[in-house]
Each structure stands twice: as structure tokens, then as C-alpha cells.
Amino acid sequence: MFPQADQSDTYEDCKATADWLLAQSAVRPSVGIVCGSGLGGLAAALKDQVAFDYKDVPNFPQSTVHGHAGRLVFGTLRGRSCVCMQGRFHLYEGYSVQKVTLPMRIFKLLGVDTVILTNAAGALNQDFKVGDIMILKDHINLPGLSGNHPLVGLNDERFGVRFPCMSDAYERELQQLALDVGQELGFGDFLKEGVYSVLGGPSFETVAESRMLAKLGADAVGMSTVHEVTVARHCGMRVFALSLITNRAVMDYDSPEKANHEEVLVVAKQRAEQVERLICTMVARMERRHNNNDDDDHDDHHDD
């Protein structure tokens, strides 16, 4: 007998929430954006905004973390219809992994085809510096490997297949687009690629845990994103994700450094403008690639 998923994670409840949102806004988003700690300012770039507090959205959880505004914002970004989450949900807030990933299924039912996720993360790779932006090329899902996985329970084929592939979780074309845009914007010195490892939190890692993760091949560690990516891919959406390196994981017992959330928010604030420029430019390029009615110069690169 399979354990049951959260009741709030049923197809019918997700559809009820999506239908409620579609009735409240004329925007029909094709891009969904999730803002990590201190990066919620990206939503301010949306034009013609219609915003909802999470507490007002049926079936939606509420964000309890400082640096997460807790609003769902609809609007247009560089001419493309978007929905943006100002703040996400985490296992350490006490939510089930099904509740944490509920917004991804709602995104799918809203019509979203591409999801962009951002997070703040600690560097395990010794070549990374605080302030670097790491484009995710893969992940290590330690909670999932131990059974705390968002797809545990009965599978609803209306969302996706029972055994989804994760070897292509992160869209390679979007990774390359980010690298190209980053070079054009002059971000080459602090734009990296790497593997992200998710832990449950809320405590930061011990020295032994950080060393273990580095030996497993992780370049950065955080407490989010992977669960959302898994469900987004299960639903058939394209995924791009990046980590803002806001601290270095402590790898030495003699180190005086201590990870703390305040440092995370300070670094996020300092680098937020570059993150926003990178994503806004990417969305503009994605618009040209997906829309073959306007920009003939880019029609040959249509990639659907």
C-alpha cells in the first residue's frame, strides 16, 4: 500500500487553485519564476502586475522565512507573460514535501511551460567565491534518496508518468543561453556551472557533512529547489535554475567562519541586480525563440 500524498496535492485541489487565479487575472503565464532568499526584487521588474498574498490563495501554504515576501505576482517581463513567486516553501518550515512543491503543479495548470528557479547557496567548491552565480547542471537529492520524495504515493497520470527521467532535469539549452547572456553582460568572472545538493535544514552543515557533500561531487549546498525541479520535470515543464553563492561552507575545523542567514541576505542584496538582469535578458531571448511572429532575425532559432 502506497502512503498517500498530502490531500492538498490532489489534481482537483491544484486545479481549483489554478482556476481561482486565472479568474482573478487576465495574465496567462508561460514562464514561472521562483525567487530565493533576498531575490524577491525580481518580481518588481514585472509590468502590469496583479499580486496575491499567499494567505489569500486557496490551498496555498505561507512562507515564514525572513527574506521571502510571500506573494504571487502575475505580469509581463520583457513582453512575456510570467508568474513570479516572491518566496518559496521549505521542509524545515514543517511543510510536507508535497506541500513544498504544490506551486509547481499549479504553475503547470496555469499554462506555464518553463520554470526558472533561484536560490541562495553555500559553496562547497573551493574555487567558488561569495557572490558567484552558479548555473545548476545537476543535483543530488539526499532527502529524496532517503525516501522524502515529492512523487512518493499514488501517481496521477494527469500530472506525469510514474517513473520520470531526471538525467535531463535541467534544460541544457537554457544553461547555454544563460552562459551566453552572462558573457554579453560582463558577468563571466562570477558565472559558474555546478551541481547543487539539497538538505532538509534548517541548521547549516557540519564540517564533516560539507566534506562529504564535496566528495560526492556537489559544488554548492542549500535547502530548496530540488524538490520543485523534480515536480516541474514530472509535469513536463522545462527547468532552469541558478544559485547565488552567499557563503562558503565551513570545511576546516580551525576556521573561524560561521554560516548565518543575515550574511545570506546581505550578499543576495548586493548581487540581486545582476541576477535580475541575467534572468530578464534570458526571458527576452526565450520570447524571441518561442515567438515566430515578431522577430524574423531569430526565427531560425525557434527551439520548441
Bridge-based pairing state of the strands 238-248 and 133-141: antiparallel
Q: Which amino acid is at 114?
A: T
Contacts for 53 with CB less than 8 Å, ≥ 6 apart = 70, 71
Domain assignment of residue 73, yes or no:
yes
- Residue 101's closest CA among 229, 205, 268? 229
Domain residues for the domain of 79 are 7-287
Q: Distance of alpha carbon 61 from its chain centroid, rounded?
A: 17
User: Which DSSP symbol is given to 128?
Assistant: -
* Cell numbers linked to 117: 528557479
Domain assignment of residue 294, yes or no:
no
Q: What is the mean pLDDT of the chain?
A: 89
Bridge-based pairing state of the strands 191-198 and 71-77: unpaired
- The helix (run of H) or strand (run of E) holding residue 195 is strand 191-198
Total domains in the chain come to 1
Q: CA 302, CA 83: separation in Å to the nearest integer? A: 23
Q: CA 249, CA 205: separation in Å to the nearest integer? A: 7
User: 231 and 175 in contact (C-beta within 8 Å)?
Assistant: no
Cell 576546516, residue located:
252
Q: What is the pLDDT of residue 228?
A: 98
Domain assignment of residue 303, yes or no:
no
Q: What is the pLDDT of residue 81?
A: 95
Domain assignment of residue 295, yes or no:
no
- Residue 242's closest CA among 13, 39, 48, 47? 39
User: 118 and 68 in contact (C-beta within 8 Å)?
Assistant: no
Q: What is the pLDDT of residue 262?
A: 82
The enclosing domain of 107 has a CATH number of 3.40.50.1580
What's the pTM?
Answer: 0.90
Q: CA 187, CA 284: separation in Å to the nearest integer? A: 18
% of the chain at pLDDT higher than 90: 76
User: 76 and 28 in contact (C-beta within 8 Å)?
Assistant: no
Q: What is the pLDDT of residue 9?
A: 74
DSSP 269-287: HHHHHHHHHHHHHHHHHHH
- Residue 206's closest CA among 245, 253, 262? 253
- The helix (run of H) or strand (run of E) holding residue 232 is helix 226-234
- The helix (run of H) or strand (run of E) holding residue 97 is helix 97-110
Q: What is the pLDDT of residue 287?
A: 55
Residues of the chain with pLDDT under 50: 1-5, 7, 289-304
Domain assignment of residue 1, yes or no:
no
Residues marked as catalytic: 37, 68, 90, 92-93, 120, 223-224, 247, 261
Q: What is the pLDDT of residues 21-67, one digit of tens each?
A: 999 999 999 999 999 877 778 888 899 999 999 999 999 988 777 76
Domain assignment of residue 192, yes or no:
yes
User: 196 and 226 in contact (C-beta within 8 Å)?
Assistant: yes
User: 107 and 228 in contact (C-beta within 8 Å)?
Assistant: no
3-state secondary structure of 245: strand
Domain assignment of residue 261, yes or no:
yes
Domain assignment of residue 301, yes or no:
no
